[in-house]
Amino acid sequence: MTSPQRAFIFDMDGTIVDNMAFHTRSWMTFFQRRGHALDADAFFLSTAGRQGHEIIRSYLGESVSDADHAALMAEKEAVYRELYAPHLATVAGFDALIGAAREDGVALVVGTAAPDENIAFTLDGLDLRRHFDAIVGAADVRRGKPNPDVFLMAAERAGALPEHCIVFEDAPLGVEAARRAGMRAVVLSTTLPAEAFAQFDNVICVARDFSGLSIASLFASTPAAPII
């Protein structure tokens, strides 16, 4: 009897790369140009993991047309890429973990709310695309996190059942999306402390980075949220 397919599903922003501060700064710049003064911390908690069109319509209203939305998103993402480009790098231990996972037969998938341009900017800029079995982004699903759509599609493309998938996330909305998908989650505390995830019953580990994570231990884990 063959073992079931296992999969690691990685959020991208704030997880593969430690860039959420740059995304928040670009959103602050974008909304300041339109007369909105926002609290950066509150904005992150309410939006991280949501798709760009959802965020824009939350603040600018449902009347934004599709054409206007495309132009607005292009503006915001151009600001982000300009800010983050000099700092583009993977979180410590990521390259070693995916190399070990590949050798162990674990499928690797990206499940992100990012648009295609930012996926290319990050994954191609770091030559990471070749390591993944599939990539699911904002263009592939209708609803962003905390809806489970992106992770369920990632599992489907990996050929793995949700109970055999582990999601790596940095944001509460992403961990909630994993919970709704029936998946365990590893939290990277790149953006928020462990306490921000205390309410989630699907978290098996909170870690500062990917260093020292054991593939066998992760798949054997039940939610307890030890801090590494």
Among 48-52, 57-61, 177-181, which stretch is predicted with the lowest mean pLDDT? 48-52
Which CATH number do you get for residue 34?
Answer: 1.10.150.240
216 and 108 in a common domain: yes
195 and 132 in a common domain: yes
Q: What is the pLDDT of residue 48?
A: 77
Residue 227 pLDDT greater than 60, yes or no: no
Give the global pTM: 0.85
115 and 56 in a common domain: no
142 and 69 in a common domain: no
Report how many domains make up the chain: 2
Q: Which range marks the domain in which residue 65 is found?
A: 20-86
Q: What is the pLDDT of residue 1?
A: 58
Residue 62 pLDDT greater than 50, yes or no: yes
Q: In which order are the strands placed within the sheet that holds 184-188?
A: 134-136, 107-111, 7-10, 165-169, 184-188, 203-207
pLDDT band at 172 (very low <50, low <70, confident <90, very high): very high
**CB-CB neighbours of 189 under 10 Å:** 17
